[in-house]
Amino acid sequence: MLTRAYQHSLNGSSRPQGRPLLEVDDVSLRFGGVKALTDVSFTITQGHVHAIIGPNGAGKSSLLNCISGIYHPQEGQIRLHTGGGVQADPAGDDREVPEGQHLLTQLPPHKVARLGVARSFQNIELFSHLSVLENLMLGRHIHMKHSVLASMLWFGPARNQEIEHRHLVEEVIDLLQLQAFRNQPVGSLAYGIQKRVELGRALCIQPTLLLLDEPMAGMNAEEKEDMARYVLDVHELAGVSVVLIEHDMNVVMDISDRVSVLDFGRLIADGTPEEVKADPAVVEAYLGADHSAAAVVEQAARDQEAVHD
């Protein structure tokens, strides 16, 4: 379980739940003449698990890439609201900042990460030859303040900093139950464990907002259940707001506070799971207009279960 020291050091820990954390305002993204996103607008609320769903090719990953700074939309704005106190400064060292908002639209990924936004990917992005512990320590790189030479010599302040980083990483290892794998090369581990390590590395950034791109893709039913529990643990114990792309409708309906639906790059629905479940536009996007909303969700859940029987 995460200690108070970890929870209190989170960038967004001082910000009350229920307030806007991230605002996506009329975002459009094009690749040449191809429109990936068109006039997408919605709000992520502090303290929520917010799911983004939609058919394949709907623009879900492109949207996460815009939020995390990998893509820069041609139109619209993405604003991150931060609390007061010591905040990671995109320009360099930590600094004292007032409560306010940061425009993410043109920032590179490392500066977005410094503001407390962490990201996982559909395809595992780990260093397979490094151990679990080493991969998690890499998640601390944006918090490193001392030179490579000082770190190599393990001298003075660099030594103290290394100890602090190691303590936090050990807490993440405990939270995600990775103790048995901590010294093993990631490439030797089962797929489900590797996905858990990737979640852990994102958590080591100490994010305010955690972006998870299909964290349960390729898993069987038992592995999905475990991962859903870990995501909820991260959300509840560390106080992290979560944006989740997921195709398993059972998972979406069970753990999400709010759901946004994309289809062909446009937002077609945004609301609670029950509201989205009853939205005719969602039904049409998935199966066509002649199906009931409840039937769509139930059929999607049955399809997922059948794959793993």
Query: Among the ranges 25-29, 98-102, 157-161, 221-225, which has the highest mean pLDDT value?
Result: 25-29
Which domain CATH number covers 31? 3.40.50.300
Tell me the Ramachandran region of residue 298: left when phi exceeds 0, alpha when psi lies from -120 to 50, beta otherwise: alpha
From residue 308, alpha-carbon distances to 76, 220, 244 in Å are 41, 6, 22
Q: How far is residue 6's CA from residue 36's CA, in Å, rounded to a whole number?
A: 38
- Owning domain of residue 55: 4-127+206-308
Distance between start and end Cα atoms, the chain = 33
Q: Are the C-beta atoms of 158 and 143 separated by less than 8 Å?
A: no
pLDDT of residue 287: 59
What would the mean pLDDT of 77-81 be, rounded to a whole number? 96
Q: Are the C-beta atoms of 201 and 113 separated by less than 8 Å?
A: no
**Is the predicted pLDDT of residue 178 greater than 90, yes or no?**
yes
Q: Are the C-beta atoms of 116 and 209 separated by less than 8 Å?
A: yes
SS3 239: coil
Of 199, 194, 223, nearest to 211 by C-alpha is 199
If one compares 101 and 50, the residue with the highest pLDDT of the two is 50
- Whether residue 271 is contained in a domain is answered as yes
If one compares 224 and 155, the residue with the highest pLDDT of the two is 224
Beta strand pairing call for 20-31 and 75-82: antiparallel
What would the mean pLDDT of 130-156 be, rounded to a whole number? 68
Beta strand pairing call for 95-97 and 85-87: antiparallel
Instruction: Report the mean per-residue pLDDT for the chain.
Output: 81
Q: What's the one-letter identity of residue 196?
A: R
β-sheet bridge partners, residue 28: 75
Beta strand pairing call for 241-245 and 49-53: parallel
146-165 as b/e: b if 16+ CB within 10 A: beeebeeeeeeebeebbeeb
pLDDT of residue 18: 78
What would the mean pLDDT of 247-255 be, rounded to a whole number? 89
If one compares 14 and 174, the residue with the highest pLDDT of the two is 174
What would the mean pLDDT of 278-290 be, rounded to a whole number? 76
pTM score of the predicted model: 0.79
Confidence of residue 99 (pLDDT cuts 50, 70, 90): low
Q: Concatenate the DSSP letters of all residues of 68-126 into one string.
A: HTSS--SEEEEEEEE-SEEE--TTSS-EEE-SEEEE-TT--HHHHHHTTEEE--SS---
pLDDT of residue 17: 66
Beta strand pairing call for 100-103 and 20-31: unpaired
What would the mean pLDDT of 57-82 be, rounded to a whole number? 95
- Whether residue 190 is contained in a domain is answered as no
- Whether residue 194 is contained in a domain is answered as no
pLDDT of residue 177: 93
- Whether residue 47 is contained in a domain is answered as yes
Q: How far is residue 274's CA from residue 294's CA, in Å, rounded to a whole number?
A: 9
Domain count, the chain: 1
β-sheet bridge partners, residue 153: none
- Whether residue 163 is contained in a domain is answered as no
Confidence of residue 93 (pLDDT cuts 50, 70, 90): very low
pLDDT of residue 64: 96
- Whether residue 183 is contained in a domain is answered as no
- Whether residue 180 is contained in a domain is answered as no
Dihedrals phi, psi of 244, to nearest 5 degrees: -125, 125
- Whether residue 212 is contained in a domain is answered as yes
pLDDT of residue 160: 63
**Is the predicted pLDDT of residue 87 greater than 70, yes or no?**
no
Largest CA distance in the chain: 69
pLDDT of residue 127: 85
